[in-house]
Amino acid sequence: VKPRIIIHGGAGNIRRESMTADQYQQYRHSLLSILIASQITSTDVYMRTPKEIATYAVVKLENDPLFNSGHGAVFTRDGINELEASVMVSRGFAKRAVGVTGLRTIKNPILLAKAMLEHGDRDLVGNTDLGWAAKVALENEADDPELDVPSAQGHTLIHGKTAETLAKKYGLETVDPSYLFTQKRWDEHVRGLEKEKQNRGNATWSIDEYIPQG
């Protein structure tokens, strides 16, 4: 079968007339460069599995402030970033799917979902040959008692603090919440709340501009 890849960066009230040529070129450049980088990665003998390729592409999208995830994520009503991610494979993992939610200090939530998927296989079917994530977790577990929490086991959807502790256990990069902040998203957050206060619409969507819906 011919290998394939497709990526997306969000959908919503993205009107042609409200997008400037510069903005269009920014999105175009980001999407195409991330796509082509992922395509090139797929030819790398170590990155051949679709799990590696898809999560590689999403990590790049998370690091790009144009898109509503990771750096550049939207704010809740309280002005907090709460991130979510998921990964699912059609064949080869007993665990099949993982979701993580309520994350505030993880730089790349998709890597946590990926590590949980791999780790789950160790718990469900005793498969210990899981690659670097599992090995790092074992090392971290040994030398930091705080990380000696039960592993993700067969769990599929994990929220908040426990998920963040697991991320540390797997050696994933944690950041200060301020890393996720971008002025553009903050302005959208403030504008929405003000609009709602003045009864000019609700705070999560606008007919005039693209407000990320997730």
Q: Which of residues 20-49 bind other proteins (CB under 8 A)?
A: 24, 27-28, 31-32, 34-36, 38-39, 42, 48-49
Looking at residues 44 to 73 of the shown chain, list those that interact with other proteins (rule: CB under 8 A).
48-51, 53-55, 57-58, 61-62, 67-70, 72-73
Structure tokens at 101: 């939610």
Rounded distance between C-alpha atoms, residue 134 and residue 118, angstroms: 7
Q: How far is the CB of 73 from other proteins (least distance, A)?
A: 3
129 Ramachandran zone, left/alpha/beta (phi>0; psi -120 to 50):
beta
Going by the DSSP 8-state scheme, the letter that residue 170 receives in this structure is: T
Question: Under the criterion CB under 8 A, does residue 177 sit at the interface with other proteins?
Answer: no
Q: Which of 128, 177, 202, 208 binds other proteins (CB under 8 A)?
A: 202
CA angle 177, 55, 144 (to 5 degrees): 55
- How many CB atoms within 10 Å of residue 4? 8
Residues 6+ apart with CB under 8 A from 50: 89
Q: Which of 127, 165, 171, 210 binds other proteins (CB under 8 A)?
A: 210
Q: How far is the CB of 144 from other proteins (least distance, A)?
A: 26
Looking at residues 87 to 146 of the shown chain, list those that interact with other proteins (rule: CB under 8 A).
87-92, 96-97, 99-102, 108-110, 113-114
CB nearer other proteins, residue 43 or residue 139: 43
Place of tokens 């705070």: 203
Number of residues located near other proteins, criterion CB under 8 A: 94
Q: Which of 94, 140, 159, 175 binds other proteins (CB under 8 A)?
A: 159
Place of tokens 């963040």: 164
